[in-house]
Every structure is written in structure tokens, then in C-alpha cells.
Chain A
Amino acid sequence: MRFFAAAIVGLLLAAVLTPRENEGSSDFPRKPVTLIVAYSPGGAVDTIGRAVATHLETYLGQRIVVRNKPGAGGEIGYRSLSAANPDGYTLGMITAPPILMLDMLRQSKHGEIASFDVLASVQKDPVVIAVGADSPHGSLRDLLQAARDESSKLINVAGDGPLSNNQLQLAVAEKELDVNFNFVPFNGSGPSIAALLGGQVEAAVPSASSVTNYVKRGDVRALAVFADERYEFLPDIPTVVEATGVDVPGIGAAVRGIVLPRDVPIANKQLLADAIENLMADEEFKIYVRRAGIPLHYMGAEEFDAYLLDLERQLTAYMPLLSGAQDNGAPR
């Protein structure tokens, strides 16, 4: 017991006394780099974060240590990242749109949560609309028709929530397709798929990566994917345009990327960005990640920045739908 206490105190002291510096140096990185994951271990962000951390070492020449700082829908981790020393030794994983939604919903001083310099995006996981294997609705058109039928009750749709990107995607779809569903929030995509399997709800809006195996196995039927192009692991599932002829913006897709706190020296930033670019082109890494069913999607800093700006513009238009949707299903 005493030994542990001493060891822990020693570790703490070491952490506090480690020297910090701000100027970019030619021998960067000289020590292990920390990657802050603002979500719990084992989740989707953590999985891609750890995969990147393990393989980036080859290109960076230093170990990358994943630190989970979960809580408050990512806010705790995002805040500690933006407050981190901008020396390049602290990176973070972000997920858009949740990070932008947090910024809008929490009414914090604008940019307080989402104040970063982006390096690259690594993953894009769109939202899928799915029904049970024995559902009477064979296609998205059938489901929409049933939902528009005034005489019957609202169709229950399960999804991660409340106030998640999945709920946002459904709200956007409701508006663009002129239809009304009853969104019921569950604790994540997994539990909402379970509710679909058990027949507790008629439909669900899980993330594509979490539903892929159930679709392949035939336990769940995916009707459409909310994206411009088909999902790489479910090539038979139509996009929403193909299924309905209406273009529903896929802004609910979870785009995960790597960011730095503001004002990291240019040289260090460039070195990190190059390492990520090389990693994303690495065939061995691609095979490893594909085997785990993770949909990779690389955008460089400029492209990712532009994507986020455009996303923010669209969110400003669509976010009021979410506060409206809130009153719809909730009991008063």
C-alpha cells in the first residue's frame, strides 16, 4: 500500500516537473505526444484514436499516448485540449458535428469549445436509416408513405441521443422529405439497434459503422444512407438521393479528425500534418483499420477546415429544428 502511494506521488511529481517550452525546435518531437480523446474508452472515437496513435509512431518517431477525458458530451476533453500548452505535444480527436453542436447548444461564448487548428480528418461515419428484418416497409419510400399517413400513429425511430448528430440527421431528413417521425433517444447507436432487434421501435437511425454487421447478417434492413455516396462497407444500400430523389444533406455524418490547440509553432504543426498524411496513405494501416470496420476518410487541413466552415453554416440553419424536435416527442 505504502509503496503504491510513494510510486503514485512520484509519478505525479514527474508529470508536474516535466519542463515545457513553446518555441518550435528542430528536434521535435523529443518526447511522447499525448492524444486527448474526449470520449470513453472503447467508443468509436477511442477506437480510431487508438488505431491512429499506434500506427502514427512509425512516421513521428515518438510514442503517442491516448488519454481519455470523457464527459459532458465531449466538452470536458475539448476544453482541456484548447487549454493545453500549444507546443505540439498535445493533440486531440474531435468529432464533427457534435463539437459544433456543443458550441451552439451550450451557449458558451462562441468558439470556447471549438477553438482549434485542424490537422486532418481521418474518418467519416454517416447515419443510416434502418428497419427490422421483418418490417413491412421494404424501402425508404414505403416508410415515408406510412409516416405521412395521417390516420395512423407516429412512427417511432430510435437513435443515439438526446441532441446527437443522429437526431440532427433525422430532423434534417424530416424537413427535407416533409415527413414527421417520433424520435426516441437511446444511450447510443448500440442500444437503439437492440431496440430495433427487439421490436420496441419501428425504425432506427444508427451510425453506419455500428449497424454494418447486423445488416450483413440480415437481422436489420438498412433503407438508405444519409451521404452523397454509398457507404464502403454496405455497397448495396442506396444513398438517400437514390432512394427518394430528394437531396438530404448528410450533415449528421460523424467526421472525426485530429486537431491542435491554437498557436502551435508552424514547423511542429507541419511535421504532424505530414506524418498524418503519410499514415493515411499507408496500405498496412488501411488494411488494419478496414478489418475493424472503420470507414477511413482523409481530408487535409485546408479541406477539413472548409468542410467545418460549411458544416457550421448549415448547422446554423438546421439547429432550430432540433429544439423543435425536442418538444415533439417529449411528454409534457
Chain B
Amino acid sequence: MFEDSLLGLATLLDPAMIAAIAVGVTCGILIGILPGLTSTLGVALVIPITFSMPPQVGLAMLGGIYVASTYSGAITAVLLNIPGTPAAVATLLDGYPMGRNGEPTRALALSTFGSAVGGMISVIALLLLGPALAKVSLLFGPPEYFLLAVFGITVIASLSAGAMIKGLIAGCIGLLMSTVGYHPLTGTMRFTFGLPALYDGIPLVAALIGLYSVPEVVDMIVRGDKKKSVQNERDRKSPYRYLGQVIKQTGNLIRSSFIGLIVGIIPGVGASVGGFVAYDAAKRASKRPERFGKGSAEGVLACETGNNAVTGGTLVPLLTLGIPGNPVTAVMLGGLMIHGLQPGAELFTANADIAFGFIFSLFLSNLLLIPIGLVFAKYCAQIVRVPRAILAPIILLLSIVGTYSIRSSFEDVLIMFSIGAIGFLCQRFSIPRAPLVLGLVLGTLAESELERSLALVSGDIGVFVLQLVTRPISLGILLLSIYAVYQGVVQHRRQSRLLDQ
């Protein structure tokens, strides 16, 4: 194992590898910044190009794109209040307020350092614990996945502390929206209005663009330059000066990386949930939870560390078992197969140089995020100086093109605008949108896993409930969820009391 990994390390000495990683990271950052272009699309676009490269070089480039596009959605989240990718939805909560308070450089620096650290810790875990973690992932069956989705949904409680009713309304709208599409067990169509584009459910990326870009564009047009937006006056420091603040939060970094890693290993959840759960945990652990939502450094760091740690986690089942947990890794599996590489234990013995080379290249990609990401962040920050009258139509155009490009479907653009109307109403009545996103993402998972759990016991609810408390992992997650709801209520009472005074 040790010698094999040295073989992998040696591949990094190849200048072509370094170049591939740098190109991958740069492209990935661009993809993440543009709304609609996601990690999946980026990797899919580049895969045919990598066919002609040596496998380890091609994989290194794909890895760079994956890691960097997961991170760079944060840049637009901080500067424009629009998440560039689904992963950055949690980053909006504190990243944008911090930018508006005159510290966009700080928010971008924290995001970048957090992403890099989260990514690197998850890669180390993949290297050292990969096969063991894969075995753990197989212990999770439908009942466990169902409870995990429920646990994720309980995060809504803590996101809505102080405005519980509005948070719950948003969460319920999200859950309701997640029921659009075919029934996970019978295939019956629900709320699709006969539109094939809705058969698979509301497309997540189109929904996010609608929820966040459309209200922001409307706001820019209505209020023009009078709107108080991100300002760059107060801080002209180098982003590297914030490194000290990051290192001080070692506990937060390790906790968030661990959460992201676990979320990544579980198939079908995704980086956005990793960010939310890490944010929630940071808030619970924080000495100053009241700062969360108003530009808390802990919050920005937690969600960005968490969502990038997901990347290493998703590669665990892919490389060790050949089971892709999300769309990006599904595309990567195709990339591996076309090079004749079969994921599994023998990938690490027969093709050790490629397998370990890929893992080390991911580590390097995460490291390169810092210099390349900060250069991009520095120039992107100038965007706030662009007059709103010019910025608004550009964002609108990019939103339309981005939505269309996902599936080359015009119906998706219509869906994006319809959800944009919901997003606008949410903003108008200050209903938080984050619980809506959580409901939308996790509702589908919760429903299909519940149905599957019931199907496995032939619909016997008694047996299913018994399973939830007798399977050890289920019981653990169940207790965790109950505790999360309880603490959410306590936190809400405390904050409402503070508001009353």
C-alpha cells in the first residue's frame, strides 16, 4: 500500500499532470461562477477531451474541475447573493451579509481557505480510510437513508430560529415542490401538468437560479444603484491576512470536514446538504450563535469547508465499490470505464499509479484552489462596481442561458421563471429561502427511501417502525434527529425572547 502510494505520488512529478490540474482548477472555477453550469456539466463537457490523454492526466483534470466548481459557487454567493452552484446555497446565509458589511475580501478568503482545507481533509480520509468507509456505507439501507433525510430536514428548525413560522412555511413549500414528478415506486405522474420536463421532478439547478437570480435581478432594476450592496471600501487587505483567523478555528474545520465527508459517502445527498449540516453544527457549537445569519465568520467557514469535504466523500464509494453517489461521480465512472479502469479493490493494486495518482492530484487541486481561487475572487470582486443597470440584464441573460444549457430544454427556462416568481414573493415577504431549498433537495430522498423501506417489508408499517429502533444505525440517527428538533425549539424560544426585549 505504502509503495503503491509512492508510485502515485511519482506521477505528480510529470509536468503534464501539474498543467492538467491547473487547467482543471481554472476551468472549474469559471464553471462554478456561471449560474447553470455545474460540476456535472463541467466534467461531462471535458470527459471526451480526456479520452485522448493518459488516464492519470485526464482524471487529474476532471478532479480539478470537480473540486474547483464545488468551491467557486461561493464567489457569486458572497458578491451577488446568487449561488453559482447548488453547493453554495448555505454560503449565502453568512457570506453575503459579511460582504454587505464591507468585508467581501474576508468572506471570499474564508470561503477559499475553508474549501481547500475541507477538500484536503476529505482526500486524506479517502486515501487512508477509503475501503473501511466504503464498508460502512453498505450498512446503510433504505431506513437509514430515510432517517438521514429527516435529520437533514430538521436543520430547517435551526435555520429558522427567531422566525419559526416563516421557516416552516418555506420548508413545507420545498417539501411540496419535491413531490412533483413520478412516484418513486409506482411511476405514477404527479403535478406534472403534462410537461415532460417535470416528469423527473423540478430540476434543482433551474429551481435555484429562479429562486435566487430572478429576485436579485428584479431588486437591482427596481432599486437601481441606491441598493445597499456589497461594498469594497472598508477592506483593502490581502486575503492571505485572514489565514490566521482560519487556523484559530481548527475545531470548526475538523468538524465541518468530517460532516462533509460523511454526507459525501451517502449516495444521493449532495454538496448543498453537506454545507447546510456543517453550518447547523457550527451554529450549535458556537459561543455566539446570534451572529449566524448576520455575517458570522464561523458560518462561512463551516459551510464552505463542509461542502468541499463532500467531494472526497463521494469518491469513496466510486473508487472502492464502483457505485457513483451523485451525478458528477456517475460521469466520472464513465470516464474511468472508457480508459478500461474498473473501480474496486484491484484499481488500487493493478492500477496503483493511476488510482493513487488521482487521489494525490485531488490533494494538489485543493491546494491550488487557494492561489487560483483568490486571484479570481480579487477580480470578480470588481463586479460590485458595475452599474446595476448593466449588471441586471447580464445576470438575467446568463440565468436563461445557464438554465437552458443543463438539458437543452426551453421548458426548463419556463420552470426557472415560474420558480423565480416564488423566489420573488419569498424575498418580498422576507420568507427565508434556505429551508425551501433543503425541503426540495431532501424531500425527494425522504419520500423515495420511505417508500422503499416500506416496500422491503411488504408495506407493513409495524415492522418498519420496529426496524427504525432496532437497527443500530437507524436508532442513532433517530435520536440525533429528536435532539436536533428539541434544540431547535429551545434556540428559537431564546432568540424570540431576545427579540421581545
Asked if B267 is at the interface of the complex by the 8 Å CB criterion, the answer is yes
Choose among A68, A163, A184, A217 the residue that contacts B345 (Cβ–Cβ < 8 A): A217
Asked whether A42 and B409 contact (CB < 8 A) given A1-B383, A162-B184, A330-B186, the answer is no
- Report whether A75 and B199 are in contact in the complex, using a CB–CB cutoff of 8 Å: yes
Asked if B187 is at the interface of the complex by the 8 Å CB criterion, the answer is yes
Stretch at the interface among B274-282, B286-294, B319-327, B354-362: B319-327
Choose among B51, B185, B197, B334 the residue that contacts A185 (Cβ–Cβ < 8 A): B185
Chain A contributes a number of interface residues (CB within 8 A of B) equal to 61
- Report whether B138 and A198 are in contact in the complex, using a CB–CB cutoff of 8 Å: yes
Asked if A318 is at the interface of the complex by the 8 Å CB criterion, the answer is no
Residue pairs across A and B with CB atoms within 8 Å: the count is 159
- Report whether B331 and A41 are in contact in the complex, using a CB–CB cutoff of 8 Å: yes
Interface string of A290-310 (1 = CB under 8 A from B): 011100000000000000000
Asked if B425 is at the interface of the complex by the 8 Å CB criterion, the answer is no
Asked if A50 is at the interface of the complex by the 8 Å CB criterion, the answer is yes
Q: Which 7 A-B pairs have the closest CB atoms?
A: A331-B459, A42-B331, A41-B44, A72-B199, A198-B138, A42-B334, A291-B340
A253–B114 Cα distance when bound, in Å, is 47
Chain B nearest CB, measured from A5 CB (Å): 5
Interface string of B363-390 (1 = CB under 8 A from A): 0000000000000000000010010000
- Report whether B40 and A197 are in contact in the complex, using a CB–CB cutoff of 8 Å: no
- Report whether A163 and B401 are in contact in the complex, using a CB–CB cutoff of 8 Å: no
A-side contacts of B140, CB under 8 Å: 198
Choose among A4, A79, A105, A291 the residue that contacts B187 (Cβ–Cβ < 8 A): A105
**Residue of A at shortest CB range from B345?**
A217
Chain B contributes a number of interface residues (CB within 8 A of A) equal to 62
Stretch at the interface among B104-112, B149-157, B416-424, B447-455: B447-455
- Report whether B321 and A194 are in contact in the complex, using a CB–CB cutoff of 8 Å: yes
A-side contacts of B408, CB under 8 Å: 67-69, 80
Asked if A143 is at the interface of the complex by the 8 Å CB criterion, the answer is no
Asked if A190 is at the interface of the complex by the 8 Å CB criterion, the answer is yes
A19–B322 Cα distance when bound, in Å, is 44
**Residue of A at shortest CB range from B196?**
A72
**Residue of B at shortest CB range from A9?**
B397
A-side contacts of B383, CB under 8 Å: 1
Asked whether A201 and B51 contact (CB < 8 A) given A68-B407, A76-B197, A76-B409, the answer is no
Interface string of B430-470 (1 = CB under 8 A from A): 00000000000000000010011011101101000000000
Choose among B196, B340, B454 the residue that contacts A75 (Cβ–Cβ < 8 A): B196
Asked whether A5 and B397 contact (CB < 8 A) given A46-B334, A187-B268, the answer is yes
A293–B339 Cα distance when bound, in Å, is 11
B-side contacts of A4, CB under 8 Å: 34, 398
Choose among B34, B332, B334 the residue that contacts A47 (Cβ–Cβ < 8 A): B334
Choose among A9, A46, A190, A293 the residue that contacts B323 (Cβ–Cβ < 8 A): A190
- Report whether B394 and A2 are in contact in the complex, using a CB–CB cutoff of 8 Å: yes
Chain B nearest CB, measured from A304 CB (Å): 25
Q: Which of A153, A154, A184: most chain B CB closer than 10 A?
A: A184
- Report whether A331 and B454 are in contact in the complex, using a CB–CB cutoff of 8 Å: yes
Asked if B200 is at the interface of the complex by the 8 Å CB criterion, the answer is yes
Interface string of B338-360 (1 = CB under 8 A from A): 10101111100000000000000
- Report whether B340 and A71 are in contact in the complex, using a CB–CB cutoff of 8 Å: no
A186–B322 Cα distance when bound, in Å, is 16
